[in-house]
Amino acid sequence: MSRIKIFDTTLRDGEQSPGVNLNHLEKLEIAKQLERFGVDRMEAGFPASSKGDFNAVKAIADTIETTSVTALARTVKSDIDIAWEALKGAKKPAIHLFLATSPIHMEFKLRKTAEEVIQTSVEMVRYAKEKFDDVQWSAEDASRSDLEFLAEIIEKVIDAGATVINLPDTVGYTTPAEYGHMFKYIKDNVPNIDQVALSCHCHNDLGMAVANSMAAVENGATQVEGTINGIGERAGNASLEEVAVALKIRSDFYPYETGLVLDEIKRTSDLVAKLTGMHVQANKAIVGRNAFAHESGIHQDGVLKNVETYEIITPEMVGVHTNTLFLGKHSGRHAFKGKVEEFGVQLSDEELQDAFNRFKVLTDYKKEVTDDDIYTLLMEIKTDSAQIEKYQLDSFQVYYGTGNTPTAVVKVTSPDGGHLEAAQTGRGSVEALYKTIESLIAEELNLIDYQLNSVGGGKDALAEAYVQMSVNGEVMNGRGSHQDVLMASANAYLNAVNRYILKHSTAGKKEKVVQ
């Protein structure tokens, strides 16, 4: 079977989702999981866009061993130079250049003629080739571009040294028939097309990103680009887990395979959902919680008699396992360490002890501790391990009743070590709690969004809170988990503030970006 390469852009295009704000520790954890998942290439970010993105890309490039790490760059020399500085420590560095080719983009956005677009693309691909062996060039808005012009510019950038040609459906406009035809046209009309890999990149504005990607594969694409859970700006990107499982289940129709480890799908999906705050809808294909649920009596009867009557995908194929008790309050540190190693999460001795202590606290309140519970604890430790002076919640109490005005009393320790205490009222318990915390924080705060989810099921399930808030005018995300929903909510609120402090406390320590 022919191999289809998987290009993951969760850390670049996915992070452009409205409201998503990953710090470099979170990006690094996602990158490690993408490597375990087996993606061929991960787009780690756009290093020329900010010092923060530069440092995140560099950290990923210096860490990842087996997956090619790439960075996005405009067709500008300074972008290419910055990308090289970020990626030069990678085992398999690559660069992704892009320039728009559609008439509407060239006229109104670029204000360039077709000849100028060709000249710029050729010159910058040639310049990038001096530093990178692997150079991907993208014709932004290819699906609304003139096919003859596309063929002309592609032939010339291949001659200049491009190794991958990407034809994106940038605004999610095209249909499977149209998108497939474009790939067939390029295959038939670019004489040197056999020298490069041909890649597809689809957005989901009309809900056809996966279908369009499959049409591209049917017509010669050898690389599929997308994101975990289909996240991305506007309506998102093609969902990589859907593409991968479709190729596997319908191998009778698609004679292709990927290098993905399919039973890592669920863990990868969960991690991205936790760290981005973009929770997966219940009926999402492959990874939604209802993907393997059967409500209809007829369906249930059929599944009991033969699972293949209504299930074309086994839960185990994508890493969905029944959450059974694996450790309890009497479990020791050695058994806990073994479970951590099963997850593939690397912890220092100090982090392992912290995780074990949190686990023991959890067992005092929760009878059945599941894999999801432990993974949630581990990810909190891995992504919040920065040693900085920050706000710490010492204690709180909320007085609430149907006949009383909700009142919260909160004690916190400030970054300078001071002990602060205040009380506030609100129209509800969470509002009272948040107003009280806000009164203790020096920064100017404004809550934008608040979400609450459970980890697993049952009345003793962990609560997972997510907030998006403005901290001194800058949008930050925060997460917190606890068995008590108010404690989880308080942790999420302070986490957003502390992430702001972390970002600005390290701003002066970041490496200089080459201009």
- φ, ψ at 132 (rounded to 5°): -115, 135
268 plus 351 within the same structural domain:
no
Q: Is 515 inside a domain boundary?
A: no
User: Distance (Å, rounded) from C-alpha 220 to C-alpha 198?
Assistant: 7
Q: What is the Cβ-side half-sphere exposure of residue 72, based on CA atoms within 13 angstroms?
A: 20
Q: Is 327 inside a domain boundary?
A: no
Q: Is 282 inside a domain boundary?
A: no
Per residue in 394-415, pLDDT tens?
999 999 988 889 999 999 999 9
User: Distance (Å, rounded) from C-alpha 137 to C-alpha 349?
Assistant: 44
Residue 451: both structure tokens together: 């979400």
| CATH code assigned at 440 | 3.30.160.270
227 plus 102 within the same structural domain:
yes
447 plus 350 within the same structural domain:
no
Question: For each of the chain's 515 residues, which pLDDT tens digit applies?
Answer: 799 999 999 999 999 988 888 888 899 999 999 999 999 999 999 999 999 899 999 999 999 999 999 999 999 999 999 999 999 999 999 999 999 999 999 999 999 999 999 999 999 999 999 999 999 999 999 999 999 999 999 999 999 999 999 999 999 999 999 999 999 999 999 999 999 999 999 999 999 999 999 999 999 999 999 999 999 999 999 999 999 999 999 999 999 999 999 999 999 999 999 999 898 999 999 999 888 764 444 444 554 555 566 578 888 999 987 544 456 666 678 878 888 888 878 888 888 898 888 888 888 777 667 777 888 888 888 776 655 678 999 999 999 988 889 999 999 999 999 999 999 999 999 999 999 999 999 999 999 999 998 887 777 788 999 999 999 999 999 999 888 999 999 999 999 999 899 888 765 443 333 32
* DSSP per-residue letters across 76-109: SHHHHHHHHHHHTT-SSEEEEEEEE-SHHIIIII
Structural domain for 371, as ranges? 333-382
Residue 105 · residue 150 · CB < 8 Å:
no
Q: In 210-355, at which residue ranges do the beta strands (DSSP E only) sit?
A: 223-226, 256-257
Residue 476: both structure tokens together: 């930050």
The pTM (predicted TM-score) of the whole model is 0.87
373 plus 420 within the same structural domain:
no
Q: What is the Cβ-side half-sphere exposure of residue 260, based on CA atoms within 13 angstroms?
A: 34
263 plus 354 within the same structural domain:
no
363 plus 442 within the same structural domain:
no
120 plus 155 within the same structural domain:
yes
Q: Alpha carbon of 226 to those of 20, 39, 326, 357: distances in Å?
A: 17, 11, 34, 38
**Residue 455, pLDDT score:** 83
Q: Is 511 inside a domain boundary?
A: no
Strands 197-202 and 223-226, sheet pairing: parallel
192 plus 242 within the same structural domain:
yes
Q: What's the number of domains the chain is made of?
A: 4
Residue identified by tokens 């391990």 is 385
User: Distance (Å, rounded) from C-alpha 398 to C-alpha 29?
Assistant: 35
Which of 382, 401, 423 is where one domain is finished?
382
Q: Is 89 inside a domain boundary?
A: yes
Q: Is 255 inside a domain boundary?
A: yes
**Residue 295, pLDDT score:** 45
230 plus 307 within the same structural domain:
no
80 plus 156 within the same structural domain:
yes
- φ, ψ at 72 (rounded to 5°): -80, 145
Residue 363: both structure tokens together: 């067992």
User: Distance (Å, rounded) from C-alpha 11 to C-alpha 413?
Assistant: 34
Q: Alpha carbon of 63 to those of 23, 70, 105, 482, 509: distances in Å?
A: 16, 13, 37, 31, 20
- φ, ψ at 514 (rounded to 5°): -70, 135
Q: Which neighbouring-strand residues pair with 371?
A: none
247 plus 349 within the same structural domain:
no
**Residue 272, pLDDT score:** 96
Q: What SS3 class is residue 57?
A: helix
303 plus 359 within the same structural domain:
no
Residue in 197, 239, 314, 222 with CA at minimum distance from that of residue 1: 222
Q: Is 283 inside a domain boundary?
A: no
Q: Is 284 inside a domain boundary?
A: no
User: Distance (Å, rounded) from C-alpha 23 to C-alpha 60?
Assistant: 12
